[in-house]
Structure 1
Amino acid sequence: MVCQELVTSSTVYRSSYSCLLHLQISGAGHGMGREMALRFGRLGAVVIAVDINPAGNEETFKMIKGEKGKIHKYECDVTDRAAVFKLAEKVSKEVGDVTILVNNAGIMPCKPILKHSEKEIRSEVDINVIGNLWMIQAFLPSMLENNHGHIVAMSSMAGKMGLRNLVPYCGTKYAARGIMEALAVELYEDPRDTTGVCTSFSA
């Protein structure tokens, strides 16, 4: 349903653009990211699949190609600001400006807080929170220039309530929700849309 609504709302503006609907999804190599990529591909969007795992992303690429969909794939670490900005430049040159940006990349270690290592906690914050900010900074400028665009962040029900064994994860998802709420306020007078999606748990 969310996929359909995003494509429908963005298609309204197509008549004033020579480009197709370019939909970029981070974390597209598996799980929810892959499912969204497949659904958007079936709806006619040009899918830009981004993942740090090239093998998983290649599988998503083959699945969409097998359905005669339009897809481009890129490897990127969303925690690396320089790499994200380089990705934005490359996508703009090779595919075109992104119309819908879906920040989906994330990790969810499930264990008691005292069992989390420093590396795990820092990785959760870097991927689930900081990665969102780098992607917004890299791709929002073209949306402002084109006077059109939509930014989506995949939050979670863990961003609306505390859950056992998910203390760091809950913190990152509360942060992701806060980022999108603040961004919506900041862009209130601009014709750019923002959406925060709070999902239940999925594989």
Structure 2
Amino acid sequence: MAPDSKPKDSVALFLGKILFSLLETMVFSLIPKPRKNVAGEIVLVTGAGSGLGRLLALQFAQLGSVLVLWDINKEGNEQTCRMAREAGAMKAYAYSCDCSRREDVYRVADQVKKEVGDVSILINNAGIVTGRKFLECPDELMEKSLDVNFKAHLWTYKAFLPAMIANDHGHLVCISSSAGLFGICGLADYCASKFAATGFAESVFAETIAQNQKGIKTTIVYPFFTNTGMFDGCSTASPNLLPILEPEYVVRKIVDAVLQNQLYLCIPKTLYFLLFLKSFLPLRTLLILARYLDIFHVMDGVMMKKNLKT
């Protein structure tokens, strides 16, 4: 009988963990999780020179974090650095870095380790959008989109994850997009890069769980189109269901998710429902729904811009 007891115990333990996980999710959907203290944590934000990156830096500055700010735009990044210090950052450092270039990422990462220390919260926020239909988009712009929106995540993880593993402490934040959940007309390269970033972040999260690295947390963020300049010209015919988001609201939600170690964050919550529908509805039905919500009209506004936004 002894050999039979182990499989039964394993199944019981497995089912117990599943039940506990479901109950925990239900409880914390009603009661906010306790927030962790990030004062003194070294927080690196890519794309910090403007938009969500700048606002994220200022939020963590107010929480007393040490800020490491990366951007290819030196002037905008240094302005963010000054603003972060004024907002209460324990310390703030600005580094010029082209996140689309692996060598640049590794070089600046080594500089950060020597001058600041081990990054404990990594926020991959830098992103670009071409806003062109697939066959109208030059190859070099598509490659740039993949380099910035996806490949940069590979190089930053390679640079900073080893120290997190050694310390059994860290937080990996992937700013993806609703375009990382649904294929959208007119954003083929952007969707591809965001789907890739999402899959990569989920895979590394799975590795940390498999290796019992409980001190390393992951947060993956899926915001709808946000009024930061990247999607100038966007509009929505369904503002109650899929509004164009204000960046201050998005950043508050992101910071709350990080402080509560939330794995997934969809903004607005309507995206959770659409993702649920995607899991069982045929693609043709989803496209009909997308047309009803006028998502294609939203993308027409992006494609009219005809230029690369960062």
Q: TM-score, structure 2 length as denominator?
A: 0.59
> What amino acid is the match of 2:222?
C
Tell me the SS of whatever aligns to 1:98.
coil
Does 2:76 correspond to 1:56?
yes
CA contact (8 A) 1:106 1:128 kept: yes
Tell me the SS of whatever aligns to 1:130.
helix
State the Cα deviation string for residues 85-127 of structure 1 (Å, max 9, x = none): 2222211121111110001111011121121001110000111
Does 2:133 correspond to 1:112?
yes
* Counterpart in the other structure of 1:93: 114
Tell me the SS of whatever aligns to 2:220.
strand
Decide which of 100, 104, 121 is 1:83's aligned counterpart: 104
* Counterpart in the other structure of 1:184: 205
Does 2:138 correspond to 1:152?
no
Residues 10/176 of structure 1: CA separation in 2 closer, same or farther (3 Å cut): farther
1:31 Cα shift? 0.6
Percentage of pairs with the same residue: 39
* Counterpart in the other structure of 1:201: 225
Unaligned runs of 5+ in 2: 1-31, 229-310
> What amino acid is the match of 2:199?
G
Q: Output the CA distance in 2 between the equivalents of 1:79 and 1:63.
A: 26
Tell me the SS of whatever aligns to 2:157.
helix
* Counterpart in the other structure of 2:192: 171
Unaligned runs of 5+ in 1: 15-19
Larger radius of gyration: 2
State the Cα deviation string for residues 7-64 of structure 1 (Å, max 9, x = none): 94364xx8xxxxx211000000011111101111111111111011101101111222
> What amino acid is the match of 1:138?
A
Q: Output the CA distance in 1 between the equivalents of 2:36 and 2:59.
A: 16
Q: Output the CA distance in 1 between the equivalents of 2:60 and 2:174.
A: 16
CA contact (8 A) 1:10 1:149 kept: no
> What amino acid is the match of 2:137?
H
* Counterpart in the other structure of 2:124: 103
Q: CA RMSD in A?
A: 1.7
State the Cα deviation string for residues 145-195 of structure 1 (Å, max 9, x = none): 112111111100000112221111011111111001111111111121111
